[in-house]
Amino acid sequence: MSAVAARAADGGRAAAELLRRRRARVSLEDYAQAVDVPGRPVSADPDAWMFAPVESPLALHHRVILRALQRCMTTRYGRLMIFAPPGSAKSSYASVVAPTWFMGARPGARVILASYATQIAAKQSRRARQICRSPVYRGIFGADLPKDQSAVEAWALTSGSELMAAGILAGITGNRADGLVIDDPVAGREEAESEAVRLKTLDAYQDDLQTRLVPGGWTVLMMTRWAVHDLAGMILPEDYDGRSGPVRCRDGMVWEVLRIPARADREDDPVGRRPGEYLWPEWFDAAHWRLVEDSPAPAARRTWQALYQQTPVVASGTLFRREWIRWYGADELPAHLSRYMASDFAVTAGAGDWTEHGVWGVCVEGDLWALDWWSGREATDTSIRAALALLDQHGPALVWYGERGVIEASIGPAIERAMAERRVRCARELLPAVGDKTARAQSFRAYCEAGRVHLPRGMAWAQRLLEQLVAFPTPGAPDDAVDVCGLIGRALDRLSNARVPAPKVNRAPQPFTEAWFDRQPDEAGRAARERYYR
């Protein structure tokens, strides 16, 4: 090669390198391809500092994850949930690559990386440090990790950007952050299904982590779903149906949800797969996923739905079974129903209990048909208005059932006043609070077992009701809707079946025409004709 050609080649390489660096600074996806992503440790030492680069190139779902991460990190109050199966390399990109990109692109940025245990967060911190120590990182952002930085739980770049790694339950105080990455906030199913651990995790998320964010700070929650009521489940709306995209959650924020199941099960799969197609086929063949999906082990199906499909189901209780419930469409609702309503009021608004109102119909044959539902953690006056609105919508219920006790004694007068003000005419009947919750649900259970309870298809509240029934009486699982069912079950001997109204008879006077006379019996017709023409 001539000297001129060599200089031209060198110039071309230099220009390509400058373009690569420029793109890496503005695009997280390009940045992930420019750096060596640390993978497995080079030794068995748990405190090892060196990691071998990942062996696989960016897959399509990695690109989808990286784009979502950048949207979140560059959006004021950005919120992102990432659900993906084990082995999908989500942590490599969300907990290692993305924070280092944000720290380089935003000098002075501060990031908190949290996990269920400090040592797990520290491992990801070590991997992030390796990227920041590389010449490639220095070439892209002009910053690196000083040699005197040896701590793994907290370290800073020469640009002033900082990262702190900690366990979510360890207590994070005294540190502010522009962004928060939560990588697997629970260790496993046992912790996810423990009410005490769930509430501690939620408190730590709300009180320790979210309060550390500066105004406008972003949050990434990444996890495999272990249980319906894990941290993500307590933030997502109760009617979450597994969709990806923007979702308004119970914390009042709009989260971008990225649910990437091992096997696509929706037409709107975020990776663009058709239903039935498996994830990452260039790395995992179908047999890899089917080892779990087709396993005959008793717990395998539950594991597949939770960890691999990211759609956990409520653990079965001991009282109700899914197959007992009958489902109906709008065109299958009986024409004649006697209507009733039952309510279970919460003690205080915003506490763990929910106020539940259920409207039920009893058909001619005596089956129960769930017609409408309202639930909320609202103030008493709001809950009462909701109940009266259901009565207005469905017509005055024959009886509105409740339960005697301390709650009724405190809110009963308010209910009576509200009914009088709105001129709602409806009989209220209060049943005695006898036995425990399981005993009070027995009559309703018998109807379910007999296949005489019907829920409407396609209604989120009906699916929520079913999940509470099949979980009951699992400790820690919500059961306020079950209390409403128990009230209806205890009132069964008081409920009246619907009646088919008698056909209307047209008794309007008929004209005295010859045709009318001819339709009368012979003797009666002749006598009537004689009287008429007399």
Ordered DSSP codes for 417-445:
HHHHHTT---EEEEE---S-HHHHTHHHH
Tokens of 270: 């975020």
For residue 349, the SS3 value is coil
Q: How far apart are CA 61 and CA 514, in angstroms?
A: 86
Residues 6+ apart with CB under 8 A from 344: 355, 356, 402, 403, 480, 481, 483, 484, 487
DSSP 496: -
Tally Cβ neighbours within 10 Å of residue 208. Answer: 18
Contact criterion met (CB below 8 Å) for 214 and 112: no
Kind and range of the H or E run holding 22 = helix 3-26
Q: How far apart are CA 471 and CA 487, in angstroms?
A: 18
Which of 520-528's residues contact partners 24+ apart within 8 Å by CB, and which partners? none
Q: How far apart are CA 238 and CA 142, in angstroms?
A: 46
Sheet containing strand 154-156, edge to edge, reads: 154-156, 162-167, 110-115, 177-183, 213-223, 79-83, 254-259, 245-248
Phi-psi region of 484 (alpha: psi -120 to 50; beta: other; left: phi over 0): alpha
- Taking 3-state DSSP, the helix, strand and coil percentages for the chain, each rounded to the nearest 5, stand at 40, 20, 40
pLDDT tens track, the chain, 534 positions:
555 455 545 556 777 788 888 999 999 999 999 998 886 554 445 445 455 556 668 999 999 999 999 999 999 999 999 999 999 999 999 999 999 999 999 999 999 999 988 888 998 999 999 999 999 999 999 998 887 777 888 999 999 999 999 998 877 766 789 999 999 998 877 777 777 788 889 999 998 899 999 999 999 999 988 888 889 999 998 778 889 999 999 999 999 999 999 999 888 999 999 989 999 999 999 999 999 888 877 567 778 888 999 988 766 667 898 889 999 998 999 999 999 999 999 866 554 578 999 999 999 999 999 999 999 888 889 999 999 999 989 886 678 999 988 888 889 999 999 999 988 888 899 998 877 888 889 899 999 999 999 999 988 899 889 988 988 887 667 889 999 999 999 988 788 888 887 776 655 555 556 665 566 666 666 666 666 555
pLDDT in tens, 328-352: 998 999 999 999 999 999 866 554 5
Phi, psi of 406 (to 5 degrees): -65, -40
The C-alpha angle with vertex 295 and arms to 291 and 301, in degrees rounded to 5, equals: 110
Residues 6+ apart with CB under 8 A from 318: 473
Would you give the end-to-end CA distance of the chain in angstroms? 134
Q: How far apart are CA 124 and CA 91, in angstroms?
A: 8
Output the pTM of the full model: 0.62
Smallest CA-to-CA distance from 82 within 214, 210, 196, 231 is with: 231
322-494, CATH topology level: Nucleotidyltransferase; domain 5 (3.30.420)
Tokens of 307: 């960890």
DSSP string for 183-202: E-SSSSHHHHT-HHHHHHHH
For residue 121, the SS3 value is helix
Contact criterion met (CB below 8 Å) for 232 and 82: no
Q: How far apart are CA 286 and CA 280, in angstroms?
A: 9
Q: What does each C-alpha distance from 38 to 32, 53, 392 come to in angstroms?
A: 11, 5, 62
Residues 6+ apart with CB under 8 A from 534: none
Phi, psi of 517 (to 5 degrees): -60, -40
Q: How far apart are CA 467 and CA 311, in angstroms?
A: 13
Q: What does each C-alpha distance from 76 to 38, 219, 313, 366 come to in angstroms?
A: 29, 10, 33, 56
Smallest CA-to-CA distance from 109 within 23, 204, 214 is with: 214
Contact criterion met (CB below 8 Å) for 516 and 374: no
The C-alpha angle with vertex 167 and arms to 164 and 170, in degrees rounded to 5, equals: 105
CATH 3.40.50.300 fits domain 3-308: yes
DSSP string for 28-97: HHHHHHHS--EEEESSS-TT---EEEPSSPPPHHHHHHHHHHHHHHTSTT-EEEEE--TTS-HHIIIIII
Do domains 3-308 and 322-494 share one topology? The answer is no
The whole-chain average pLDDT of the chain stands at 85
pLDDT in tens, 53-104: 566 689 999 999 999 999 999 999 999 999 999 999 999 999 999 999 999 9
Phi-psi region of 261 (alpha: psi -120 to 50; beta: other; left: phi over 0): beta
Smallest CA-to-CA distance from 307 within 187, 201, 227, 202 is with: 227
Q: How far apart are CA 494 and CA 503, in angstroms?
A: 27
Please give the single-letter amino acid code of residue 92.
S
Tokens of 31: 């940045």
Domain ranges of the chain: 3-308, 322-494, 507-534
Q: How far apart are CA 179 and CA 210, in angstroms?
A: 10
Query: How many C-alpha atoms does 114 have within 13 Å on its Cβ side?
Result: 26
